[in-house]
Amino acid sequence: MNTTADLKLLGVAEVDGRPLACAACGNTFSLEVHKRGPWETSPAWICCLSCGAGRESDSITTGLVDAVLAGWARRRKDVEVRDSFTAEWRGTVLSGELVPTMDAYQAVVTVKAVHEGASPHVKRWWGAKKKAAKEKAKAPLRAVKGKADQAGAAVTAKALSTAWQVQTGGAGAPPASRPRSRCTVKGCRKGWLTIKTRVHSGTGKTKDVRVQCAVCRRAE
């Protein structure tokens, strides 16, 4: 008998609607089915992974095991449903679920699931790496540009200073403009005061006269 199981059952399998159980301990889980004879009518060997006991089956035969394997092979590419089976041979129905087999089709589904789950984290990690690489690549350019800007500013300042020296005949730098403070005299507007007086009127009537402010002298 081949020591590699032909059917590795996951959960409870049923034969004609009745649970398949170990004859020694009654366990319905962790059972394996082995083909023993070359004929379709040869009884299969049921092995219990719980207690280690094994026996020939009264209802499962080589033909029924081959029917299960043939159905699995037809659905091999459909990984999501291929391990669930219901097979019939000569009036006997065996149903249940097989332990998933790792093959190329299962590997593709596994890798896809892992990729979909990790995709947001991978994108964030890759985005950070790209950003860091761009910053590193732009750093020398920014340094060169900064030096060029400084050199340009120095040249501009020197040119302006030279032009001023030429225009003023070496009088030095132009005087800094100082903002004028506001006049403290009440009513002063840009160095002018408006007063009402009769002295400057030829008719003796009061009239408005504008005079220069003697404090700020802005009107001069």
Per domain, the residue ranges of the chain are: 7-97, 183-220
Closest CA to 13 of 63, 67, 60: 60
* pLDDT tens by residue, 116-128: 665 565 566 566 7
pTM assigned to the model: 0.45
DSSP line for the chain:
--SS-SEEB-S--EETTEE---TTT---SSEEEE--SSSTTSEEEEEETTT--EEEEEEEEHHHHHHHHHHHHHTTT-TTTTTEEEEEETTEEEEEEBPPP-SHHHHHHHHHHHHHHHHHHHHHHHHHHHHHHHHHHHHHHHHHHHHHHHHHHHHHHHHHHHHHHHHHTS--SPPPP-PPPPP-STT-BTTEEEEEESTT-SSS--EEEEEE-TTT-TT-
* pLDDT tens by residue, 181-219: 778 878 888 878 787 776 656 676 777 778 888 788 777
* pLDDT tens by residue, 54-103: 998 889 999 999 999 888 888 777 767 678 888 999 999 999 888 877 65
What is the total residue count of the chain? 220
CA distance 106 to 112: 10
Closest CA to 184 of 160, 208, 156, 218: 218
